[in-house]
Amino acid sequence: MLEITPIIYIVDDDPSVRSSLRLLLESAGYEVICFSSAKEFLKFRLDSTTAHCLILDVKMPDLNGIELQKELASINNTIPIIFITGHGDIPMGVQAMKDGAVNFLSKPFDDQQLLDSINEALIRDINFRKKQSEHDQIKQKIDTLTPRENEILRYLITGMLNKQIAYKLNISERTVKAHRKQVLDKMGIQSIAELVRLTEKLGITPVE
């Protein structure tokens, strides 16, 4: 369960659409923040402390919904997007989904369909945040390793024995064992299998 109320951002140039969506979503227990244009939304600093998603109209003046999706992607903003449109066609919807949209709903749409899409979007956002948090925690531990420990780590995840690593690096097996202990201690783990799992999450590859 979320401890903080999720925030649903709505970007639509039609005041009546914004009003009806706000009423629906607030009655469902969400916090809602509305914007009349894509440019207005881009100027807003999103709340990063809670799960959120974006309900985005396709046809808007100046910067349309598809263009906003591309702009957000270019600045690595991963907020899940649900498109709503009264004008979109199938190719546009297919492309929006390929670019990561959660759903592409044609007006008028069923309220429950929107609420289901929002739930899917929030789950996606929560899972992404968990993954990103884990990634950051692993990287913080990796950053505590010395250059030599980093080198030993890349040998350890090959599955080599200590004596094999010692031979490759022209150091004693005792030295390898000492570095191995330091690596595992700093990473907060007890096995090479765990080390492999963590380094894979960061894209760290074994030495060739």
pLDDT in tens, 122-166: 999 999 999 989 999 999 999 999 999 999 999 999 999 999 999
Q: Which is higher by pLDDT, 79 or 95? A: 79
Residues 77, 179: one domain?
no
Q: Are residues 53 and 12 in the same domain?
A: yes
Residues whose CB is less than 8 angstroms from the CB of residue 8 and which lie 6 or more positions away in sequence, other chains included: 25, 30, 31, 32, 33, 52, 53, 54, 55, 118
Average pLDDT, the chain: 92
Does 116 fall in a domain?
A: yes
The domain that contains 59 carries what CATH number?
A: 3.40.50.2300
Give residue-wise pLDDT tens across range 99-122. Answer: 889 999 988 889 999 999 999 999
Q: Is residue 193 part of a domain?
A: yes
pLDDT value of position 106: 85
Q: What is the pLDDT of residue 97?
A: 84
Do the beta carbons of residue 37 and residue 61 sit within 8 Å? yes
Q: What's the pLDDT at 108? A: 82
* Overall domain count for the chain: 2
Residues 185, 98, single domain; the answer is no
Contact 8, 30 (CB under 8 A): yes
Pair 172, 106 in one domain: no
pLDDT tens-digit readout, 28-48 = 999 999 999 999 999 999 888
Residues of the chain above pLDDT 90, percent:
76
Mean pLDDT of 182-189: 96
Whether residues 28 and 114 share a domain: the answer is yes
In this structure, the answer to whether residues 119 and 150 fall within a common structural domain is no
Q: Which one of 113, 133, 153 terminates a domain?
A: 133
Do 149 and 109 fall into the same domain?
A: no
Picking from 133, 168, 194, the residue at the C-terminal end of a domain is 133
CA–CA separation, 92 and 106 (whole Å): 12
Which structural domain, as residue segments, surrounds residue 180? 144-202
pTM, to two decimals: 0.79
Is pLDDT at 183 greater than 50 in this prediction? yes
